[in-house]
Structure 1
Amino acid sequence: MRLFSTTSSILTSLFLIAMTGTFGACSAPDVCDDSIDVGSLSINPQGSPCTYKCECNNQLYEGFCKDDGSCQSLPREGCRVPGKKRACIPLKLDDSGCKDGIQICQPPELGGRSLWGDCKPLVPTKESGKELCQDGLDNDCDGKTDLG
Protein backbone atom coordinates (compact mmCIF):
# COMPACT_ATOMS: atom_id res chain seq x y z
CA MET A 1 0.00 0.00 0.00
CA ARG A 2 2.89 2.34 0.79
CA LEU A 3 4.35 1.77 -2.72
CA PHE A 4 1.05 2.80 -4.30
CA SER A 5 0.96 5.98 -2.19
CA THR A 6 4.55 6.92 -3.15
CA THR A 7 3.94 6.20 -6.84
CA SER A 8 0.72 8.19 -6.75
CA SER A 9 2.51 11.15 -5.12
CA ILE A 10 5.27 11.09 -7.72
CA LEU A 11 2.80 10.95 -10.61
CA THR A 12 0.74 13.77 -9.12
CA SER A 13 3.87 15.91 -8.70
CA LEU A 14 4.97 15.25 -12.28
CA PHE A 15 1.50 16.15 -13.55
CA LEU A 16 1.52 19.44 -11.61
CA ILE A 17 5.01 20.30 -12.86
CA ALA A 18 3.97 19.61 -16.45
CA MET A 19 0.79 21.68 -16.10
CA THR A 20 2.59 24.70 -14.60
CA GLY A 21 5.30 24.66 -17.25
CA THR A 22 8.18 24.33 -14.80
CA PHE A 23 10.05 22.13 -17.25
CA GLY A 24 12.38 24.19 -19.41
CA ALA A 25 10.96 24.67 -22.88
CA CYS A 26 12.40 25.86 -26.14
CA SER A 27 11.52 29.38 -27.14
CA ALA A 28 9.41 29.99 -30.21
CA PRO A 29 11.37 29.99 -33.47
CA ASP A 30 12.68 33.34 -34.68
CA VAL A 31 10.24 34.92 -37.15
CA CYS A 32 12.26 36.02 -40.14
CA ASP A 33 11.23 37.28 -43.58
CA ASP A 34 11.92 40.11 -46.03
CA SER A 35 10.18 42.65 -43.78
CA ILE A 36 12.72 42.19 -40.95
CA ASP A 37 16.32 43.41 -41.23
CA VAL A 38 17.67 42.34 -37.83
CA GLY A 39 16.77 38.95 -36.35
CA SER A 40 16.32 38.44 -32.60
CA LEU A 41 18.95 35.69 -32.27
CA SER A 42 22.56 36.32 -31.22
CA ILE A 43 24.49 33.31 -32.56
CA ASN A 44 27.21 33.60 -35.21
CA PRO A 45 25.48 32.80 -38.51
CA GLN A 46 28.66 32.81 -40.67
CA GLY A 47 28.35 30.10 -43.34
CA SER A 48 24.86 28.99 -42.25
CA PRO A 49 22.23 28.31 -44.93
CA CYS A 50 19.83 31.21 -45.43
CA THR A 51 16.96 32.62 -47.44
CA TYR A 52 16.47 36.02 -45.76
CA LYS A 53 18.86 38.75 -44.58
CA CYS A 54 17.64 38.50 -40.97
CA GLU A 55 18.89 34.91 -40.81
CA CYS A 56 22.44 36.31 -41.16
CA ASN A 57 21.94 39.71 -39.54
CA ASN A 58 21.10 39.58 -35.84
CA GLN A 59 21.64 41.23 -32.46
CA LEU A 60 25.39 40.52 -32.29
CA TYR A 61 26.34 40.00 -35.97
CA GLU A 62 25.88 42.12 -39.08
CA GLY A 63 25.49 40.11 -42.26
CA PHE A 64 23.58 39.24 -45.38
CA CYS A 65 22.46 36.19 -47.33
CA LYS A 66 24.78 35.61 -50.29
CA ASP A 67 23.53 34.50 -53.72
CA ASP A 68 24.63 30.93 -52.95
CA GLY A 69 22.23 30.78 -49.97
CA SER A 70 24.87 31.05 -47.24
CA CYS A 71 25.46 33.75 -44.63
CA GLN A 72 28.31 36.22 -44.64
CA SER A 73 28.57 38.02 -41.31
CA LEU A 74 30.89 39.91 -38.98
CA PRO A 75 30.60 40.62 -35.24
CA ARG A 76 29.10 44.01 -34.40
CA GLU A 77 31.52 46.48 -32.78
CA GLY A 78 30.79 48.15 -29.47
CA CYS A 79 30.03 51.87 -29.28
CA ARG A 80 29.66 54.40 -26.46
CA VAL A 81 27.42 57.29 -27.56
CA PRO A 82 23.83 56.31 -28.49
CA GLY A 83 22.71 58.04 -31.69
CA LYS A 84 26.25 58.89 -32.84
CA LYS A 85 26.86 58.27 -36.56
CA ARG A 86 30.02 57.11 -38.30
CA ALA A 87 31.16 56.35 -41.83
CA CYS A 88 31.48 52.69 -42.81
CA ILE A 89 31.81 50.38 -45.81
CA PRO A 90 28.69 48.24 -46.40
CA LEU A 91 29.20 44.47 -46.37
CA LYS A 92 27.13 44.24 -49.54
CA LEU A 93 26.98 47.02 -52.10
CA ASP A 94 23.59 47.96 -53.49
CA ASP A 95 22.61 49.37 -56.87
CA SER A 96 23.14 53.03 -55.87
CA GLY A 97 26.84 52.87 -56.71
CA CYS A 98 27.84 54.20 -53.28
CA LYS A 99 30.77 52.44 -51.66
CA ASP A 100 30.34 54.43 -48.45
CA GLY A 101 27.75 53.92 -45.78
CA ILE A 102 26.70 55.17 -42.39
CA GLN A 103 26.10 53.43 -39.05
CA ILE A 104 24.27 54.56 -35.93
CA CYS A 105 25.32 53.64 -32.40
CA GLN A 106 22.67 51.70 -30.49
CA PRO A 107 19.80 51.77 -33.01
CA PRO A 108 16.35 50.68 -31.72
CA GLU A 109 16.44 47.32 -33.52
CA LEU A 110 19.35 46.19 -31.31
CA GLY A 111 17.25 46.39 -28.16
CA GLY A 112 19.39 48.90 -26.25
CA ARG A 113 22.71 47.13 -26.80
CA SER A 114 25.71 49.49 -27.09
CA LEU A 115 26.68 48.21 -30.53
CA TRP A 116 26.96 49.76 -33.99
CA GLY A 117 23.91 49.14 -36.16
CA ASP A 118 23.93 47.98 -39.76
CA CYS A 119 26.14 49.85 -42.22
CA LYS A 120 23.55 51.28 -44.58
CA PRO A 121 24.71 52.47 -48.02
CA LEU A 122 24.42 56.20 -48.57
CA VAL A 123 21.72 57.42 -50.90
CA PRO A 124 23.47 59.62 -53.50
CA THR A 125 22.91 63.26 -52.49
CA LYS A 126 24.36 66.42 -53.99
CA GLU A 127 27.06 67.76 -51.67
CA SER A 128 25.96 71.32 -51.07
CA GLY A 129 25.97 73.33 -47.90
CA LYS A 130 28.38 73.19 -44.98
CA GLU A 131 26.72 70.18 -43.35
CA LEU A 132 27.22 67.81 -46.31
CA CYS A 133 30.48 69.32 -47.56
CA GLN A 134 32.27 68.77 -44.25
CA ASP A 135 30.84 65.53 -42.89
CA GLY A 136 33.67 63.20 -44.00
CA LEU A 137 31.38 61.17 -46.31
CA ASP A 138 31.17 60.76 -50.08
CA ASN A 139 27.51 61.85 -50.17
CA ASP A 140 27.29 62.14 -53.96
CA CYS A 141 29.09 58.80 -54.54
CA ASP A 142 31.67 60.32 -56.90
CA GLY A 143 34.61 58.63 -55.17
CA LYS A 144 35.70 61.83 -53.37
CA THR A 145 35.04 62.60 -49.73
CA ASP A 146 33.57 66.11 -49.42
CA LEU A 147 34.06 68.95 -51.86
CA GLY A 148 37.27 70.97 -51.69
Structure 2
Amino acid sequence: MFSLVFYLFVTNTYCQEIENCKCKSRNFKLIKKEGLQIDTTLVKINGIYIFKDSIIDLKNIKRDRYSFCRFFENGRVFFSCGYFNFPHESDLNNLSYGYYGEYKIIKNQIIIESYSSYVGYILELYKIEGLKIISTDFAKRSNKPKFEKVFSSIEYDFYKFKL
Protein backbone atom coordinates (compact mmCIF):
# COMPACT_ATOMS: atom_id res chain seq x y z
CA MET A 1 0.00 0.00 0.00
CA PHE A 2 2.89 2.35 0.76
CA SER A 3 4.11 2.00 -2.83
CA LEU A 4 0.80 3.03 -4.37
CA VAL A 5 0.46 5.97 -1.98
CA PHE A 6 4.07 6.95 -2.72
CA TYR A 7 3.43 6.78 -6.48
CA LEU A 8 0.26 8.87 -6.27
CA PHE A 9 2.03 11.39 -4.02
CA VAL A 10 4.94 11.68 -6.45
CA THR A 11 2.62 11.99 -9.48
CA ASN A 12 0.48 14.67 -7.82
CA THR A 13 3.59 16.43 -6.56
CA TYR A 14 5.08 16.52 -10.06
CA CYS A 15 1.89 17.99 -11.43
CA GLN A 16 1.77 20.66 -8.75
CA GLU A 17 5.35 21.60 -9.59
CA ILE A 18 4.78 22.20 -13.28
CA GLU A 19 4.13 25.92 -12.95
CA ASN A 20 7.29 26.30 -10.88
CA CYS A 21 9.51 24.17 -13.12
CA LYS A 22 9.36 24.86 -16.84
CA CYS A 23 12.67 23.12 -17.52
CA LYS A 24 12.65 19.95 -19.61
CA SER A 25 15.99 18.51 -18.58
CA ARG A 26 17.60 17.64 -15.31
CA ASN A 27 20.87 16.09 -14.25
CA PHE A 28 19.80 12.60 -15.22
CA LYS A 29 22.54 9.98 -15.01
CA LEU A 30 20.85 6.83 -16.25
CA ILE A 31 21.75 7.15 -19.93
CA LYS A 32 25.04 8.97 -19.34
CA LYS A 33 26.25 6.22 -17.05
CA GLU A 34 25.22 3.16 -19.03
CA GLY A 35 24.56 4.43 -22.55
CA LEU A 36 21.44 4.68 -24.66
CA GLN A 37 19.75 1.29 -24.96
CA ILE A 38 16.40 1.44 -26.74
CA ASP A 39 14.62 -1.30 -28.65
CA THR A 40 11.56 0.22 -30.29
CA THR A 41 10.15 -3.24 -30.94
CA LEU A 42 9.67 -3.47 -27.15
CA VAL A 43 8.72 0.12 -26.30
CA LYS A 44 6.56 1.79 -28.90
CA ILE A 45 7.30 5.37 -29.90
CA ASN A 46 4.44 5.69 -32.41
CA GLY A 47 1.78 6.25 -29.77
CA ILE A 48 1.16 6.57 -26.06
CA TYR A 49 0.66 4.36 -23.03
CA ILE A 50 -2.50 5.23 -21.06
CA PHE A 51 -3.15 4.65 -17.36
CA LYS A 52 -6.75 4.90 -16.14
CA ASP A 53 -7.80 5.11 -12.52
CA SER A 54 -10.74 6.56 -10.61
CA ILE A 55 -10.90 9.20 -7.92
CA ILE A 56 -13.63 10.63 -5.70
CA ASP A 57 -13.98 14.35 -6.34
CA LEU A 58 -14.92 17.06 -3.84
CA LYS A 59 -18.62 16.43 -4.48
CA ASN A 60 -18.12 12.76 -3.54
CA ILE A 61 -18.58 11.64 -7.17
CA LYS A 62 -16.42 8.90 -8.65
CA ARG A 63 -14.61 10.15 -11.76
CA ASP A 64 -12.27 8.44 -14.20
CA ARG A 65 -8.83 9.96 -14.53
CA TYR A 66 -6.41 9.31 -17.37
CA SER A 67 -2.71 9.96 -17.63
CA PHE A 68 -0.29 8.91 -20.31
CA CYS A 69 3.36 8.36 -20.93
CA ARG A 70 5.07 8.90 -24.24
CA PHE A 71 8.46 7.47 -25.14
CA PHE A 72 10.91 9.10 -27.56
CA GLU A 73 13.72 7.43 -29.50
CA ASN A 74 16.34 9.67 -27.86
CA GLY A 75 15.83 8.07 -24.42
CA ARG A 76 13.40 10.64 -23.05
CA VAL A 77 9.98 9.85 -21.65
CA PHE A 78 7.13 12.20 -20.84
CA PHE A 79 4.49 11.49 -18.14
CA SER A 80 1.33 13.60 -18.31
CA CYS A 81 -0.65 14.83 -15.36
CA GLY A 82 -4.23 13.60 -15.02
CA TYR A 83 -7.12 14.31 -17.39
CA PHE A 84 -10.80 13.72 -16.55
CA ASN A 85 -11.50 12.69 -20.15
CA PHE A 86 -9.58 10.42 -22.48
CA PRO A 87 -6.78 12.68 -23.80
CA HIS A 88 -7.39 14.29 -27.20
CA GLU A 89 -4.74 14.59 -29.89
CA SER A 90 -3.96 18.16 -28.76
CA ASP A 91 -3.38 16.84 -25.21
CA LEU A 92 -0.97 14.19 -26.50
CA ASN A 93 1.17 16.86 -28.13
CA ASN A 94 1.04 19.25 -25.15
CA LEU A 95 4.30 18.29 -23.49
CA SER A 96 4.13 20.98 -20.83
CA TYR A 97 1.38 19.37 -18.70
CA GLY A 98 3.52 16.75 -17.01
CA TYR A 99 7.13 15.86 -16.35
CA TYR A 100 10.08 14.33 -18.15
CA GLY A 101 12.44 11.51 -17.41
CA GLU A 102 14.93 9.31 -19.19
CA TYR A 103 14.72 5.60 -19.83
CA LYS A 104 16.62 2.59 -21.05
CA ILE A 105 15.61 -0.98 -21.75
CA ILE A 106 17.28 -4.10 -20.43
CA LYS A 107 15.73 -7.36 -21.65
CA ASN A 108 11.98 -6.92 -21.08
CA GLN A 109 12.30 -4.17 -18.45
CA ILE A 110 12.22 -0.40 -18.70
CA ILE A 111 14.23 1.61 -16.19
CA ILE A 112 13.01 5.20 -15.87
CA GLU A 113 14.75 8.00 -14.03
CA SER A 114 12.64 11.03 -13.12
CA TYR A 115 12.84 13.98 -10.73
CA SER A 116 10.73 15.86 -8.20
CA SER A 117 12.00 18.66 -5.99
CA TYR A 118 10.06 17.07 -3.10
CA VAL A 119 11.62 13.60 -3.30
CA GLY A 120 14.64 14.05 -5.59
CA TYR A 121 15.66 11.61 -8.30
CA ILE A 122 13.71 8.36 -8.56
CA LEU A 123 14.28 5.16 -10.50
CA GLU A 124 11.26 3.11 -11.53
CA LEU A 125 11.16 -0.35 -13.09
CA TYR A 126 8.43 -1.45 -15.50
CA LYS A 127 8.05 -4.86 -17.10
CA ILE A 128 6.99 -5.06 -20.72
CA GLU A 129 4.16 -7.48 -21.50
CA GLY A 130 3.11 -7.21 -25.12
CA LEU A 131 1.52 -3.78 -25.54
CA LYS A 132 1.42 -3.07 -21.79
CA ILE A 133 3.98 -1.71 -19.37
CA ILE A 134 3.51 -2.52 -15.69
CA SER A 135 5.25 -0.92 -12.73
CA THR A 136 7.15 -3.36 -10.55
CA ASP A 137 9.77 -1.57 -8.41
CA PHE A 138 11.06 1.87 -7.44
CA ALA A 139 14.05 3.35 -5.61
CA LYS A 140 15.67 6.67 -4.83
CA ARG A 141 18.63 7.25 -7.12
CA SER A 142 21.99 6.39 -5.55
CA ASN A 143 25.22 4.59 -6.45
CA LYS A 144 23.61 1.35 -5.24
CA PRO A 145 19.83 1.86 -5.40
CA LYS A 146 17.71 -0.32 -3.14
CA PHE A 147 14.60 -1.21 -5.11
CA GLU A 148 11.30 -1.90 -3.38
CA LYS A 149 8.38 -3.79 -4.89
CA VAL A 150 5.31 -1.73 -5.61
CA PHE A 151 2.30 -2.92 -3.66
CA SER A 152 -0.22 -2.23 -6.39
CA SER A 153 1.08 -2.20 -9.96
CA ILE A 154 0.27 0.62 -12.31
CA GLU A 155 -0.56 -0.67 -15.76
CA TYR A 156 -0.32 1.37 -18.95
CA ASP A 157 -1.97 0.16 -22.17
CA PHE A 158 -0.59 1.16 -25.58
CA TYR A 159 -2.66 3.20 -28.02
CA LYS A 160 -1.30 3.94 -31.47
CA PHE A 161 -1.68 7.61 -32.41
CA LYS A 162 -0.45 9.82 -35.18
CA LEU A 163 1.80 12.14 -33.17
Q: Compare CA radii of gyration and give the structure with the larger one.
A: 1
State TM-score, norm by structure 1.
0.26
Q: TM-score, normalised by structure 2?
A: 0.25
Higher strand share: 2
Which one scores higher on RCO, CA 8 angstroms, separation ≥ 6? 2
Between structures 1 and 2, the one with greater helix share: 1
